[in-house]
Structure 1
């Protein structure tokens, strides 16, 4: 029997995605951090990996930030992802709240609203974000917002290419630096295995200068991210700073590339950009269920005297990557007020990380 009119599915109108264009760079003279540039187009050349690893060594061990070029992801695809993210943040609040992050369980997939208060300033957090898990069978049942469902093939393809073209190669270079088998870190973060990797659309909504001034005390210190590698696509609005080896905070200059996250913070944008929402596109790679959070058995670390006897004992109990990441997400984000947490640390099953870096 043919379905009645009442039983027929009502088609959902596809959301129009307007092209997003990067804002003009700031004209202000800022103190930019010098960053190493890693050209991944050389990765498959004879001796290319080894040479790139030598170039990366200083950035890995001292700065923690670097620029990646030659990755094979054309700018049209990147701008398309910015456009999808921008369109999502313009959706109505009911649609955005239809799938929210479950911070009580340390789960970071879904939408995070800018609902938390910044200390006692009377100003709310200005960050909204949407975190999309990688396209593996284990996450098939994770809900999808309308705009994500409509563009999921495109989003998931981009997600996978970020891992294959960038993350995988960076893990090989870091393994070479640590004198480990080349696939050691790749296997610890295998794309096809369950982990909390996610693609993130993010926006820092605009504030008045007076609001920035009231909240600035809460961004004087920095933080580190929860996983192993963070890829950040350039979007031209300044505000991101990293702590340089000399302890000074320096701006990260917008570039056509990718950056790995270290101790960092976001501060007031320059005066000529304070009126522009700071849209973000990021990829977070996190160790997963099959990875035990122990110090890697690196011959380099051994030769430098950086491995303790406890580090060398690979049989000691330790949490998995997912357990650790979710515990840290829960600790940081399951709060209604953001405090500075000075002189405090997060501890979980023998792992300890400062909450706040001066």
Structure 2
């Protein structure tokens, strides 16, 4: 039987990890391969529960892709930025503020970070759109397969474990997640180095401290250190790179669906350490959302939630649907003038819900 030929793409050579002495976050590691059986999920559920209740961030290993397959995804992830002419990119972008969608390209310097300084982030997101740049066309089967792997082999076990942690039926959170163009987004993102003047004006912050829109964020670990998580003691700590691991965190929507039992975790992106400072930072995400018509109200039938007490961000009557929340945040982020509460926190209100940004 002839070997399957995969399309050629230029090799993305990953840079070495930092040698700087950084204060690393001590995040738990979960072996997701054990979640393939009911017995394995019973074993993992307490680990997932404790990790997400304590840290809100964790690593997942043994997720089913080899290091070589991981490397191939990063090769593909670089294509939208290096193999597509600028004039062609313009055909595959939308007005984010008008559409409430990140489909296709988001260009650099769109979001206000601090004063007159804007971001240096470019990204390309799948699959709300049907058409893609020519360079991506032959790669679409691999990208679709990658999205399906994230959804079925990573997300669904996580959702099952989180439900078990609240003494809910395993399919509770799975049932409000679909596999379609509005429930899971594959995003390739590149951070470009900034000038020293920009770093000074923003105190080296590239993305302010925030929580994510959706339910679960799956980040494929990469070697350039820039991501920091706010630890339980209130300190910012760096997220260390782990080869072929995934970095997982809870988002706003899961916090609302669980009545605050699992809390969205604050994180930010800052300038990399000195030995990585002038490198482009390529990242790969799978962002997940509940179905668009899901009303973001708590599953109050959870015995643990009943014991713990429900912490709502808005009353049930006025709670937004997933679609309303997603579009509201996207239309607001980086465009709305924030109200400064103190020297660390800025605020805005989206869909009647107070949203905080940590400077």
Q: Do these two structures clear the TM 0.5 threshold for a shared fold by scoring above it?
A: yes
Three-state SS of the structure 2 residue aligned to 1:222 is strand
Instruction: Output aligned runs, 1:128-277, within 5 Å.
Output: 128-133=122-127, 139=128, 142-192=130-180, 195-216=182-203, 221-256=208-243, 257-261=245-249, 262-277=265-280
Max Rg structure: 1
Three-state SS of the structure 1 residue aligned to 2:357 is coil
**Structure 1 or 2: larger strand share?**
2
1:109 aligned residue: 103
Gaps of 5+ in 2: 1-5, 250-264
Equivalents in 1 of 2:207, 2:134: separation in Å? 37
Equivalents in 1 of 2:340, 2:102: separation in Å? 21
Q: CA RMSD in A?
A: 2.6
Q: Is the 8 A contact 1:167 1:229 kept in 2?
A: yes
Equivalents in 1 of 2:122, 2:292: separation in Å? 28
**Which range moves more in the overlay, 255-264 or 28-37?**
255-264
Of 54, 70, 94, the match for 1:62: 54
Equivalents in 1 of 2:63, 2:111: separation in Å? 39
CA 1:172–1:148 in structure 2 vs 1: closer, same or farther (change >3 Å)?
same
**Which range moves more in the overlay, 25-34 or 110-119?**
110-119
1:95 aligned residue: 88
The reply on whether 1:301 has 2:305 as its aligned counterpart is yes
Q: Is the 8 A contact 1:226 1:325 kept in 2?
A: yes
Three-state SS of the structure 2 residue aligned to 1:21 is coil
Deviation for aligned residue 1:319:
2.9
Q: Is the 8 A contact 1:17 1:83 kept in 2?
A: yes
Equivalents in 2 of 1:252, 1:119: separation in Å? 22
Three-state SS of the structure 2 residue aligned to 1:53 is helix
User: Structure 1 length normalisation: TM-score?
Assistant: 0.85
CA 1:356–1:210 in structure 2 vs 1: closer, same or farther (change >3 Å)?
same
Gaps of 5+ in 1: 1-13, 134-138
User: Structure 2 length normalisation: TM-score?
Assistant: 0.84
Q: Size of the alignment, in residue pairs? A: 331
Q: Is the 8 A contact 1:23 1:235 kept in 2?
A: no
Three-state SS of the structure 1 residue aligned to 2:169 is coil
**Which range moves more in the overlay, 316-325 or 233-242?**
316-325
**Which range moves more in the overlay, 122-131 or 219-228?**
219-228
Deviation for aligned residue 1:108:
1.5
CA 1:329–1:121 in structure 2 vs 1: closer, same or farther (change >3 Å)?
closer
